[in-house]
Structure 1
Amino acid sequence: MSRFIDAYDAAMFDLDGVVYLGPDAVEGAPASLAELRSLGVKVGFVTNNAGRSADVVVDQLNQLGIDCGLSDVVTSPQAIAQVMRRELPDGAKVQVCGAQALADEMTAAGFTVVSDFTQEPVAVVQGYDPNLSWPSLDNAGFAIQHGARWFGTNTDITRPTHLGLVPGAGAQIEALRTAVPDAPITVAGKPYPPLLQETIKRMQASRPVFVGDRLDTDIEGAHNVGIDSFLVFTGAHGKKDLVSASPRQRPTAIGWNVEGLLEPRRECSQGGGAVVCGAARAWTSGSVVQIDGPLTSVTEQLDALWAIVQLTWRDGSLDATETLDALQLLP
């Protein structure tokens, strides 16, 4: 039986919540990525996180037993730098509201990095900063109010870690937004196209699939560049998020973790108002979704979930709450 990945020549991976959680590899990720490479699949790593440089990401992946070179990693600071190079004059003054990794990327792109709005920057670029200070936000706001263009690496509201979710770049951007509510912002990271477009170009991929844990960034980002997507359940979003997902946030396929890429594609059949996936059968009783079949393993519960979402995506008025509660092995 063919594997899901057999339909693609490249797999692009989000990092936080997909490949690792904080300092630890997600279970199954190192072995699965090695197997993908052995099959001749191009592997690339894509991160919205602007708090760390690509070099740091490469070092972490290699320490986790995941083979990775610098060309395999594409970051949101790299992507926004390319956007800004196209839209700003060479050597333009840019004020950075973010981590040192973002400032370094601006310097590498040929911009003149300044630290204060009184230096008359033509642009402010904002990215996740684990040591963000209010004076830094204030200063960025002053620059934008004095006419500087606003660029952002990404808008992820949260970041998954091994301890739980924490506020992300999107939360920091929204804090600044309160001071400049009408200012437009240009963003590179998922779900906006530039980051994934840069990755596809670098990988020279013709049939890529994007693997992520967030519907609003990873899956919607894949939709926005016209490629397939694969949702895993090791990070931010879970079964209830999937059931209520809007059309542009619905993945092509799901799996517990990245090992699912090496498993057969999860297929559904429909008939008589019911949806069958594996040994699971989902149907409706009035406006309530019902399920039967074995639910003792993660695989069986994923089959049931995939059957359930085919019904709820078709009819958004259906209630699957109690049915989802029975899938206790899924987040």
Structure 2
Amino acid sequence: MRGGLLGSDVPLAVRYDLALVDLDGVAYRGHEPIEGAAEGLGGARELGQRLVFVTNNASREPESVAAQLSGLGIPTEPDEVMTAAQAAAEVLTTRLARGAKVLVVGGAGLVTAVRAAGFTVVTSADDEPEAVAQGFAPELGWAQLAEAAYAVQRGAWHVASNLDLSLPTARGFAPGNGALVGAVRSATGVEPSSAGKPAPTMYRLAVERAGATSPLVIGDRLDTDLGGARAADYPGLHVLTGVSTARDDVLAAPGERPTYIGADLLSLLDAHPEPQVAAEGWWTCRSAAARVHDGRLELHGAAAVDGASREDRVDLIRAACAAAWSAADAGEVLDPTSVPDLDVHGAGSASAAR
């Protein structure tokens, strides 16, 4: 799969038979729904696309996640949920025999997954576990982190469900599992293995479970969701409803670039125009245009005017990404101060770069 944005003349829900959908920042934010999520996913199902919700959150059981989604108007069965807890348990099987002792530092979802994989769950470093499985749970405290540190210091294999530093909630961004793993890493000096995104483990397990042939990853974070898509060599749709912004897209490293960009999950129901190179270094996407000239991003067209439609603003983001990525791949240095916010949901500030 090539590194730039692709186009699709049919809705993405028609082109790809399986959507691997992130949860926090994509389908919901904390306990609140995200506008367009239920309609977009419902429409995708009607077009024949199957869904698997793939989350780095290891604290909850698939049944709990499915119930929450169903309550938000996104009917979901537990077998349509793939958690980082399940991926962490799968990673443990690559080195440990069935029945091995594992110290679980995390929520009910991680405990269940580790037991289901055939391991003996313990709660103390004094039980001499062969591994520590660590996942996020809001009730975790110093005592549990200390037990993990003691076990790792004594030689236990440290497996983290994910390394997300932050967790989007309805009130803002809270410390994620990566921040808690960092406490154990700081105490022990041992770098943990990670099962969650951006490692491709969960995506490949979900595709295998579904028997899909053409999967599409959907996420809000470039460093985890879209980085994982690149690691698995799957196309990825970045929806601008969570952590990473359109400006982040323009400045993205090659290993984190999305294949498609949409405002929200309703973009599953749309065709996606592919940016085209034009004269004098300009890249166009319908009426939007962008180029990098003398190390600075320049924007042009109706989409670069305050008050432009959301569709026009997304096209401007696509053109800006194509121009910036092309310049970066050619060895040109882009001045990041020339890249505006490109807010797709508000009035936008693209005028800052005109």
| TM-score in terms of structure 1 length | 0.95
Residues in 2 aligned to 1:38 and 1:6: alpha-carbon distance in whole angstroms: 10
User: 1:298 and 2:310 equivalent?
Assistant: yes
**Is residue 325 of structure 2 the alignment partner of residue 318 of structure 1?**
no
In structure 2, what is the equivalent of residue 247 of structure 1?
254
Question: Which of 139, 148, 152 lines up with 2:147 in the alignment?
Answer: 139
SS of the equivalent of 1:87 reads coil
Residue-by-residue CA offset, 1:112-169 (whole Å, 9 max, x unaligned): 1111111111110100121121121111111011111111111111111122111101
Identical columns (%): 37
CA deviation digits over 1:76-119, x for unaligned, max 9?
11111122123211111111111232122222222111111111
Aligned to 2:319: 307
Q: Is the 8 A contact 2:292 2:324 kept in 1?
A: no
| Structure 1 partner of 2:193 | 186
Q: In the alignment, what sits opposite 1:51?
A: 59
Contact residue 317 and residue 342 of structure 2 kept, 8 A? no
1:25 equivalent to 2:33? Answer yes
Distance change >3 Å, CA 113–CA 323, structure 1 → 2: closer
Match of 2:240 in 1: 233
Residue 284 (structure 2) aligned to one of 276, 285, 300: 276
- Greater CA drift, 316-325 or 140-149: 316-325
Cα distance, 1:291–1:200 mapped onto 2, change above 3 Å: same
2:77 corresponds to which letter in structure 1? Answer: G
The aligned residue for residue 5 of structure 1 is: 13
Cα displacement string for residues 39-78 of structure 1 (whole angstroms, at most 9, x for unaligned residues): 1111111111011111110110111111111110111111
Aligned to 1:261: 268
| Counterpart mapping for 1:160-179 below 5 A | 160-179=168-187
Unaligned residue ranges in structure 2 (runs of 5+): 1-8, 350-354
Does the 8 Å contact 1:215/1:237 carry over to 2?
yes
Name the CA distance, whole Å, in 1 between partners of 2:37 and 2:297: 33
Query: Any runs of at least 4 consecutive aligned residues in structure 1 with deviations exceeding 4 A, and if so which?
Result: 325-328
State the match for 1:214 in structure 2.
221
Measure, in 2, the Cα distance between the counterparts of 1:270 and 1:127.
45
Moved more, 316-325 or 207-216: 316-325
**Which residue of 2 is the match for residue 40 of structure 1?**
48
In 2: Cα distance, 1:283 partner to 1:118 partner: 61
Contact 1:239 1:324 in 2 (8 A): no
Secondary structure of the residue aligned to 2:139 is coil
User: Cα gap change, 1:189/1:323 in structure 2, threshold over 3 Å: closer, same or farther?
Assistant: closer
Q: Distance in 1 between matches of 2:240 and 2:153?
A: 41
User: Is residue 291–residue 324 contact of structure 2 (8 Å, CA) maintained in 1?
Assistant: no
Letter in 1 for 2:335: D
C-alpha contact (below 8 Å) 1:17/1:236 kept by paired residues? yes
Measured against aligned partners, the alpha-carbon deviations of 1:155-199 in whole angstroms (never above 9, x if no partner) come to: 111111122111101111111110121x24222111112111111
CA shift for structure 1 position 314: 2.0
- Please tell me whether the aligned partners of residues 103 and 132 of structure 2 are also in contact (alpha carbons under 8 angstroms): yes
Amino acid at match of 2:317: L
Kept after mapping to 1: 8 A contact 2:273/2:285: yes
Deviations 1:232-260 (A, max 9, x none): 11010102211211101000010000111
Shift of the 160–266 alpha-carbon distance from structure 1 to 2, 3 Å rule, reads farther
Which deviates the most, 183-192 or 193-202? 183-192
Give the 3-state SS of the residue equivalent to 1:107 in structure 2: helix
**Shift in Å at residue 208 of structure 1?**
0.4
Contact 2:247 2:342 in 1 (8 A): no
Is the CA contact (8 Å cut-off) linking 1:290 and 1:320 kept in structure 2? no
For residue 327 of structure 1, report the CA deviation from its aligned partner. Answer: 4.6
SS of 1:52's equivalent?
A: coil
Q: Residues 247 and 341 of structure 2 are in contact (CA less than 8 Å); yes or no, is this contact kept in structure 1?
A: no
Counterpart CA distance in 1 for 2:292 and 2:156 is 54
Distance 1:292 1:86 in 2: 52
Alpha-carbon distance change, 101 to 265 in structure 1, aligned in 2, over 3 angstroms: same
**RMSD (Å), alpha carbons:** 1.6
Tell me the CA shift for residue 214 of structure 1.
0.3
SS in 1 for 2:247: helix
Query: In the alignment, what sits opposite 1:102?
Result: 110
